Amino acid sequence: MNWALARLIAGQICIHACMAGMRMAAPLLALRQGYSAAAVGVLLALFALTQVFLALPAGRYADRHGLKRPVRHAVVAAVLGAGGAFAWPVFPMLCVAALLTGGATGAATIALQRHVGRAAHDATQLKQVFSWLAIGPAVSNFLGPFCAGLLIDHAGAQAGGTGGFRAAFALMAVLPLATWFWVRTAQELPSVIAAAGGPRQRAWDLMADVGFRRLLIVNWLLSSCWDVHTFVVPLLGYERGLSASVIGSILGAFAIAAALIRVLMPLVAERLREATVVTWAMGMTAVLFAVYPLLPTALALGTCSVLLGFALGSVQPMVMSLLHQITPAHRHGEALGLRLMAINGSSVLMPLLFGSASALIGVSGLFWMVGATVGLGSRVAWRLGDRGQSS
C-alpha cells in the first residue's frame, strides 16, 4: 500500500466514523428524551435512506467531476449535519443530521471507490486496493461509536447528560474536516469521456449487461447475510440467555475477522480469482447459517461468527474488482451508485422483513431460509467468471 492510497483510506475512515458515531449517539439521545422505539427506528433508517436516493446522482457527479469536488461537498454536508445536532440537540435536528451524514458518507464513498479503482492498472491491483480500502469501514465502525461513547459518558457534567452528547456531536463535526485534509492533495485522474454521437445513456441501461446483473444479485444476497447476522445474533443470544457483553463480543469477533481477512487478501491477490472467492464465500455462508442456530454455547457461536466474518469479509474487494472490470470506465460512478442504492435499500427494508419472518418461522428458520437462498445463489456467483475475467 502506497502513501497516496493510505491518505484516501484515512479520509474514508474519518467521514465514515462521523456517520457511525452519529448513528450510535443520536438514537441514544432520542431515547433519553423520551422518544419511542418506533421513532428511533425511523431515525436509524434515515442514515441509509438518503443513500438510496442520492447514490445514482452522486455516482454521475463523480463520473463528471472526479474525486475532490464530490468529497468537498460531502464534507460540507457532514459538518452541517453533525454541527446542527451539536447546536440544536433535538429530535427533528437529529433526523436532519442522519440524512446529511448518511448521504455525505455515501457520496464520498462512491467518489473514493471510483478514484481508487481507476488508479489501478490491472485486475491484481484492483483486488489489492479494494482489499485495503475495505478495511476503512471496519475501522470507522469501531472508532466513531467508541469515541462518541467516551464523550457521552465523560465529557458532560454528568454521565449521559446533554453536555456529553453535544461534545460527541462536536467531535463528529470535526472528523469530516480531517477527511478533506487527507484527500485535498490527491492527484486527480484524467476524465473519461463517452464516445460522441451515441444514444443518451441511462443508469438502468447497465442492468442490460448480464455480468452486471449477476454481480448485483450476488452482492445483494451477501449483503443481506451481513444484515441478517447483525439482526438475528442478539435474538439468538437472548434465547440462549447470554449477557449483552457476550452478544456484543460475538458480533465484535465477526467484525474483527472481516477486517483481518481484508488485511491478508492483498498479500495473495495474484492467486485469487474473483468468481472463485465469491462462490466459496457463498457456500461457506450457507453451511455456517445451517449450523449457527444449533450451537449451544457462546464459544461455539463466537467461533462460527469468526468463520462467517472471514467468508463475508472477503466478498467486497472481489465485487468491487469485478465491477470495475465489467462496466465502462466512464460509467464507474453510476455503477457504484447502483450498487450502493441496492445495498442501502436492502438495509432499510430487510430488518422489517426479518422481523416478520422470524415471528412466523422462528430465528432458526430465518437462518436456514437465508442460508438456503445464498447456497442456491452460488451458481450465479460462479458464472461471474464468464465475464469478469475477460473484460
**How do residues 191-240 score in pLDDT, each as one tens digit?**
665 544 455 556 566 777 777 788 888 888 888 887 778 777 777 777 77
Q: What is the pLDDT of residues 301-348, one digit of tens each?
A: 889 989 998 998 888 888 888 887 777 777 777 777 777 777 777 666
CA dist., res. 175 & res. 168, Å (int): 11
**Encoded amino acid at 111, one letter:** A
Q: What is the pLDDT of residues 96-129, one digit of tens each?
A: 999 999 999 989 988 898 888 777 777 777 777 8
**Residues with Cβ within 8 Å of residue 190, at least 6 apart in sequence:** none
CA dist., res. 195 & res. 329, Å (int): 12
Cell digits of residue 37: 422505539
Residue 15: predicted pLDDT:
93
Q: What is the pLDDT of residues 249-302, one digit of tens each?
A: 787 788 788 888 888 887 776 777 878 888 888 899 999 999 988 888 888 888
CA dist., res. 316 & res. 134, Å (int): 7
Residue 125: predicted pLDDT:
77
CA dist., res. 165 & res. 106, Å (int): 24
Mean of pLDDT values over 72-78: 94
Where helices occur in the chain by DSSP H, the ranges are 3-32, 37-65, 68-87, 91-119, 123-133, 135-154, 162-183, 210-240, 244-264, 274-291, 298-313, 315-326, 332-382, 385-388
The percentage of residues in the chain with a pLDDT greater than 70, rounded to a whole number, is 87
- Are residues 153 and 29 in contact, defined by beta-carbon separation less than 8 angstroms? no
Decide which of 42 and 80 is more confident: 80
**Residues with Cβ within 8 Å of residue 205, at least 6 apart in sequence:** none
